[in-house]
Amino acid sequence: MDPVLRAEELRSLIEHHNYRYHVLDSPEISDSEYDRLFRELVELESAHPELARPDSPTQSVGAPPVAGLTSFRHAVPMLSLDNAFGHDELRAFDDRVRKGLETAEQVEYFAELKFDGASLSLTYVDGVLESAATRGDGTTGEEVTHNAKTVRGIPLRLMQPLPGRIEIRGEVVMLKSVFAEINLAKSERGEQLFANPRNAAAGGLRQLDSRQTAARKLNFFTYGVGLVDLSSGRRLADTQSAGLSRLRDLGFPARSEATVLSGPDQLVAFVDRIQEARASLPFGIDGVVIKVNSLDQQEALGFTARGPRWAIAYKFPAEQAFTTLNRIFAQVGRTGKITPVADLEPVSVGGVTVSRATLHNYEDLSRKDVREGDTVIVQRAGDVIPEVVGPVLEKRPEGALPTPEPTVCPECGAEVARKQAEVDIRCTNLSCPAQIAAKLRHFVGRKMMDIDGMGEKLIDRFLELGILTDLPSIFRLQSRREELVGLERLGELSIDNLLASIEGCKERPLGRFLFALGIPSVGEKGGQDLARELRTLDAVRSADYDTLIAIPNVGPSTASEVQEWFEDPENRRIVDELLALGVAPVEGEAPISDLFAGQTIVFTGKLERFTREAAEAFVAKMGGKSAGSVSKQTAFVVAGPGAGSKLQKAESLGVPVKSEEEFLEMVPEGSL
């Protein structure tokens, strides 16, 4: 084939598949097939340099360094937005908008994610990328066209003809997965870690060598336009939402969370839903941007000196902070796992004051090279336990030394050991006081045996007095009532309530009992899986590896842990004593129907007719399974008010979504 025609064909094919992958999230070919097409174009342009063009997809791999970055004056300033930090401020914004428009009617808004990245303005002339510039001070930025060509989601040529000049604006972000991968590599090389994906993205845009930018695997998402000077003399669209849809058609990725809302109540519900889903997004966000949807209404509202009156940024609490690591101490958990924990100078992260954070394990501690006295980066995404990301090396105090891995248990002095292929070290003494305390706290938890009134302080006090010694000792407290009533600061009523709660927990479902026992690798869902498939405690206790590995969702590690746990004489003694003291887990019954046989169902949001536990139990009764996350194997999702990230994932995967009412319509009369 003629090289000129083949090069043009390859460019067209690659642009098409880029659009399918990055914009529509619906690839038509495999990664290897895409790579084959790309390599062919690279080889063709190398063999025929006259065929290389500035808008060729091959420009995305980077070019030789430029001498320096030059200033770029934006045709339309990239203004800042006013911020809102609570629901009341959001409602006040709506009041100002309606007052400015002189209307009592609800205003239509367009709400979208506020990406935590680096703003970028792209100028296209007759559909071809001419220049790219950072935001800078809003009026003047830096020209970074050579780097923008390496960013995924920035088309070098628009997917549809668009005569004239237009500025496309959006945010360059680094995905969380890429951030973790790059920081791991930097750590292994002994280099300073990136503080967060935002800094990594912003720094990537300002590289002189665009090959360095390409290595950061950055992504672009559009959110609007600046200058629009089209040959047609028309706007791109008449509303914010239609404009974003048009930009998608032109080849720019835009997130599906963006939506049209009406009135302040819907705005409040949207920001709450996005805040709930924040931790599950593949990139960082720091809030939500809300704009009046109509461009005519935007023009009527106009601007202040700072920014537009028709838009506001609803800010979420920061998920990262810098603080001092005072000391590193070892903590022993219920399975004997010894975890290094950072004692921090208290700092606010994600709206919560943090004074301790996990360092995961000693291998991770060594890799990150975190030391006592360091200034460290702490993060808390969503509701996860705060963690130390890494140190700020230039602030390390002189003489700071690495923390050694313990050779004996810091609580009982017993030897420590590491199982083959594990990174965790564990105390080998099952009678270790720290392990017993952690097992007791776990056993009485709300999702386990749910013993009301037995908090951490009471457990520690009873351990100190020798009243509690192991799990069975909880159920011997009834025989020591008079002794308990006589203890200082414990009244008769509180003791009787505690004993009643202990008595009432004896018949918890088998899955919860298995979870409560603290078997390594068996969480809430794992306990349910074991109980559903094996049905009786005796069957679980006697199950061999082959039986366990055949259970859906039970992997090799979990199967080994369960078998080993029940083979241990001390663990068997504990279970036998619990049963002898009246603990009687409610064992599974055979399904009464095959209505949901072979189906996995996910519940999300608030349910009106069921508690979440009751709904999942009912699905099991009808022969199905429930799951805590959505996948392509999910039969359908039942979504109630306040549904968040699970609903979004279901929609993105094309998994059917039903309301609670629709779910109930599937159920035979009288089966509830």
Dihedral angle, C-alpha 650, 655, 656, 657, nearest 10 °: -10
Q: What is d(CA 56, CA 149) in angstroms, rounded to the nearest whole number? A: 9
Cβ-based neighbours of 504, under 8 Å, separated by 6 or more: none
For the annotated catalytic residues, the residue numbers are 114
Do residues 506 and 578 make contact, with C-beta atoms less than 8 angstroms apart? no
Q: DSSP code of 565? A: H
- Whether the CB-CB separation of 443 and 517 falls below 8 Å is answered with yes
Q: How many CB atoms lie within 10 A of CB 425?
A: 22
29-67 b/e (C-beta count within 10 Å ≥ 16 → b):
eeeeebeebbeebbebbeeeeebebebbbbbbebeeebe
Name which of 137, 138, 135, 130 is nearest 119 in CA terms: 135
Alpha helices in 391-523 (DSSP H): 433-443, 456-465, 481-485, 492-504, 510-516
Alpha-carbon distance of 594 to 585, in angstroms, equals 25
Q: CA 148, CA 350: separation in Å to the nearest integer?
A: 31
Instruction: Give the span between the Cα atoms of 222 and 225, in whole angstroms.
Output: 9
- For residue 643, give every residue at least 6 positions away whose Cβ sits within 8 Å of its Cβ, in sequence order, or none: 273, 604, 605
Q: Cβ of 295: how many Cβ atoms within 10 Å?
A: 18
CA 89, chain centre distance (Å): 27
Numbers of helices and strands, H then E, in the chain: 24, 22
**Going by C-beta distance under 8 Å and a sequence separation of 6 or more, which residues neighbour residue 261?**
108, 109, 110, 111, 267, 270, 290
User: Up-side HSE of residue 582: CA atoms within 13 Å toward CB?
Assistant: 11
d(C-alpha 409, C-alpha 70), whole Å: 59
Secondary structure of residue 115 in the 3-state scheme = strand
Please answer whether residues 425 and 409 qualify as being in contact, where contact means their C-beta atoms are separated by less than 8 angstroms: no
Which residues does 104 contact at the CB level (< 8 Å), separation at least 6?
98
Tokens of 473: 């000792």
Residues 253 and 175: beta-carbon distance below 8 Å: no
Rounded to whole angstroms, the maximal C-alpha distance in the chain is 97
Give kind and range of the element (H or E) at residue 573.
Answer: helix 569-580
Q: Please tell me the distance from the alpha carbon of residue 344 to that of residue 258, in angstroms, as a whole number.
A: 38
The string of DSSP codes covering 625-663 is EEESS--TT--EEEE-TT--HHHHHHHHHT--EE-HHHH
How far is Cα 601 from Cα 615, in angstroms, rounded to an integer?
10
Q: Give one DSSP letter per residue of 334-389, joined into a string.
A: TTSBEEEEEEEEEEEETTEEEEEEE---HHHHHHHT--TT-EEEEE--TTSPPEEE
* DSSP β-bridge partners for residue 284: none
| Cβ 108 vs Cβ 260: under 8 Å | yes
